[in-house]
Amino acid sequence: MTNFSALAQGLKARPRQTFHHGNFRQSAVLVPILDPGELLFIVRTDGLRSHAGQIAFPGGVREPEDDFPIGTALRETFEELALPSDSVEVLGLLDDIPTPSGFRITPVVGRVAPFTELRLAPHEVASVFRVPLEELASRYSHDGAREFLGVTYVMHQYQWDEYKIWGATARMVYQLLELL
């Protein structure tokens, strides 16, 4: 069972790494934690211009009217899953993650209240799946390291059934598990 108040305190107490470089597009994702302690992932549809078919958290690019980053993460989650923003208790932010595709992702960690049904946006989300947090660490492996913008990154990955969680999403999971 996840201790949500301890997680919120840990997120608030840690120094958060931000990224400000070049013309990266600001984006935000919701890292949704369901009671008693499961992460909710989405599988992006194959027809998308970017990140097609990938395992991800719900989210997307900042719109001018968004209260960034929380507003972006909650708006995008509603658009992709019909999850109302008032059903999410924001616990804090993980480190910004720059991607080779030109995005700066700000992960927003949120506790999701029990809900009855998600409605997937068919043009964006092919499916969803849940993974118990306590089992993720045992599914960890790494695929070496890569250099990006002068920084060497460990390439984290997690295997859950047929799903390979890698890239920026795996980096977010790794940060979250370090806090837990």
Domains plus CATH for the chain? Answer: 4-133 (3.90.79.10)
Angstrom distances, CA of residue 39 to CA of 59, 70, 179: 14, 18, 14
53: region left, alpha or beta (phi > 0 left; psi from -120 to 50 alpha)? left
Q: Which residue has the higher pLDDT, 77 or 140?
A: 77
Q: Which residue in 84, 95, 108 sits closest to 32, CA to CA?
A: 108
Does position 52 have pLDDT exceeding 60, yes or no? Answer: no
Listed residue (7, 117, 147, 128) closest to 58, CA to CA: 128
Nearest alpha carbon to residue 78 among 50, 115, 103, 45: 115
Give the chain's length.
180
**Which amino acid would we find at residue 139?**
R
User: Residue 5: which residues within 8 A CB-CB, separation 6 or more?
Assistant: none
The answer to whether residue 33 scores a pLDDT higher than 70 is yes
Can you tell me the distance from the alpha carbon of 1 to that of 36, in angstroms, rounded to the nearest whole number?
5
| Cis before 36? omega within 30 | yes
Tell me whether strands 103-112 and 88-93 are parallel, antiparallel or unpaired: antiparallel
For 96-108, the pLDDT digits (tens) are: 998 888 889 999 9
- Cα 54 from Cα 101, distance rounded (Å): 14
Query: Which residues, in sequence order, are CB contacts of 138 under 8 Å at separation 6+?
Result: none
Separation CA 161–CA 87 (nearest Å): 28
Q: What band does 150 get if pLDDT is binned at 50, 70 and 90? A: low
As to burial, measured by CB atoms within 10 angstroms (0-12 exposed, 13-18 middle, 19+ buried), residue 66 is middle
At 35, the pLDDT band (50, 70, 90 cuts) reads: confident
pLDDT band at 142 (very low <50, low <70, confident <90, very high): confident
